[in-house]
Chains A and B, each alone.
Chain A
Amino acid sequence: MDLILEGIKKALWLLLTLDPEVRGVTLLSIKVSGTATLISLLIGISIGTIVALSEFRGKRFFVSLINTGMGLPPVVVGLFVTIFLWRNGPLGFFGILYTPIAMILAQAIIATPIVMGITLAAIQQLPKRLQLQILSLGATRLQMVWILIKEAKLPLLAAVMAGFGGVISEVGASMMVGGNIKGYSRVLTTATVMETSRGNFDMAIALGIILLLLAYIINLILTQIQQRERPR
């Protein structure tokens, strides 16, 4: 119990004094996970919408693949990304292993199926006739897709939350492809693991609390938007 209190005290101290190292680690967490989430939104929403709106052979199979991908274990993603990015691996010429870019890549791979799956469900639950209504208002196919996405914005906000929440709290892949390099690829989760193994529990707890706080604030903002949009 003392340890937790110590940790909370330390967390507050680190937050209040804007400790440069903690600040750097926190900012990098936001940058990496934020960018990964944005990329996963672009890919996940577009492919999710296309799949939801089209009929093709093997659609069921594809949808089940996406749904399985929603639970993709981060360490497995980390492992494969590492192997691909090795200097002598198939994508080694990029030279991005142990960089934040590799972390963004891995996290985007983790978040994309989540966003795609939620998008798919969100678009499919819109009334079928809404598509006809939009087309009959004179929309081109592209305009229709855009309007449908706007109609599904509330569940899509949930996709943002799920995607961001999934990657910012992920540690396995970030550790493997980022290398937890001080001041460069160290994020909140990997720093927490390291401080724990160093026995700096107070610091580890402080980092954990900052991570929780961050996840909470971002979800709070998105929930706020979502609730404001809800029917009264």
Chain B
Amino acid sequence: MKINRWVTLLGVISLLFLHGKTSVGAQQKTIVLGTTTSTQDSGLFEVLIPIFEKKTGYFVKTIAVGSGQAMVLGQRGEADLLLVHSPAAEKKFVAEGCGINRRLVMHNDFVIVGPSEDPAKVKGLRSASESFKRIASAKALFLSRADKSGTHVKEMDIWKRSGINPEGEKWYQQTGLGMGQTLNVAAEKKGYTLADRGTYLALKKNLELSILVEGDAILLNAYHVIEINPARWPKVNAAGARAFANFMVSRETQGIIKTFGVDKFGSPLFFPDAGKKEEELGR
């Protein structure tokens, strides 16, 4: 009878899965890493994670979302550790007892990109907030990720410093998308946006956008690892989180970060900072 064939097929398929890495017993061997789309899009983890997994036997599940969402996952104990770049929010996160052991891993920097015609005439400026002022007064199109990601938080910080509230302005458009897609929209609409250098470099070949402003201290983008507080969330894989965090600041890993992207883009995407203090960055 036909039904028997279906049942057999179903059985075979479920067996296939049981053979996989999904069995519940392996729980403590998996680590859920909450991180940002910008790090995933750069491809850095595809180099680092296999090395870590091979060394330790852990299985890392990278959940790439915005920094904001990643921190909500951490807050609820749904992730074991975070690798994020939203310093002010991170400090609050640790202060509230959600996370422990916040350590600086690396940085890259943000750049203001836009069409080479540069209608707001910002090219060559040193100050990010000055550039934003010009964009606002020229009513030149600006695209915001508006997704509470680290990049978005940084962008809002700059607006605040320039004394402008762009919310609701016609020239200020919110995409609600990740970095890569927002860059694509900006290129398509010939608008300005704030981007991390790594993602911009990775996408550069398909974009008609140029770097217009860079080098301001406020544009530095620091990545920290934060372990989720196991005292608060007992189900968290604390040992795994510690192991991965240690791996990220280890000499070997820092060495890989230093050269990552050089072969492809001609310059590194990230600068290793393990052991440094946040205040020392950019000097």
Report if A and B touch in the complex (beta carbons < 8 A): yes
- Using CB atoms and an 8 Å cutoff, list the residues of chain A in contact with chain B: 31, 34-35, 38-39, 41-42, 86-88, 92, 94-101, 146, 179-182, 184-185, 194, 196-199, 201
Question: Given A38-B9, A38-B13, A182-B46, are A99 and B77 neighbors across the interface (CB < 8 Å)?
Answer: no
CB distance from A85 to the nearest CB of B (A): 9
Most buried by B among A97, A180, A181: A181
The answer to whether A194 and B235 touch across the interface, beta carbons within 8 angstroms, is no
Q: Secondary structure at chain B's binding surface: helix, strand, loop or mixed?
A: helix
CB distance from A40 to the nearest CB of B (A): 12
The answer to whether A98 and B63 touch across the interface, beta carbons within 8 angstroms, is yes
Question: Given A179-B61, A184-B61, A199-B183, are A99 and B76 neighbors across the interface (CB < 8 Å)?
Answer: no
Apart from A98-B61, A198-B203: 16 A-B pairs, beta carbons within 8 A: A35-B17, A87-B77, A87-B78, A88-B76, A95-B24, A100-B17, A181-B61, A182-B62, A185-B61, A194-B40, A196-B181, A196-B184, A197-B177, A198-B180, A198-B202, A201-B206
The number of residues on chain B lying at the interface, defined by a beta carbon within 8 Å of a beta carbon of chain A, is 43
Closest to A97 in B: B78
B251 at the interface (CB under 8 A from A): no
A185–B205 Cα distance when bound, in Å, is 29
Partner of B27 from A39, A95, A184 at Cβ < 8 Å: A95
The answer to whether A35 and B14 touch across the interface, beta carbons within 8 angstroms, is yes
The count of A-to-B residue pairs whose CB atoms sit within 8 angstroms is 84
A97–B20 Cα distance when bound, in Å, is 15
Closest to A98 in B: B61
The answer to whether B178 and A197 touch across the interface, beta carbons within 8 angstroms, is yes
Residues of B within 8 A of A201 (CB): 206
A92–B24 Cα distance when bound, in Å, is 11
CB distance from B225 to the nearest CB of A (A): 19
B233 at the interface (CB under 8 A from A): yes
Residues of B within 8 A of A146 (CB): 3
The answer to whether A184 and B21 touch across the interface, beta carbons within 8 angstroms, is yes
Residues of B within 8 A of A31 (CB): 13, 16-17
Residues of B within 8 A of A86 (CB): 76, 78
Question: Given A94-B24, A96-B22, are A196 and B76 neighbors across the interface (CB < 8 Å)?
Answer: no
The answer to whether B183 and A38 touch across the interface, beta carbons within 8 angstroms, is no
B64 at the interface (CB under 8 A from A): yes
The answer to whether B43 and A198 touch across the interface, beta carbons within 8 angstroms, is yes
Residues of A within 8 A of B45 (CB): 182
Partner of A199 from B13, B46, B78, B205 at Cβ < 8 Å: B205
Residues of A within 8 A of B43 (CB): 198
Partner of B20 from A41, A98, A100 at Cβ < 8 Å: A100
Residues of B within 8 A of A199 (CB): 180, 183-184, 202-203, 205-207
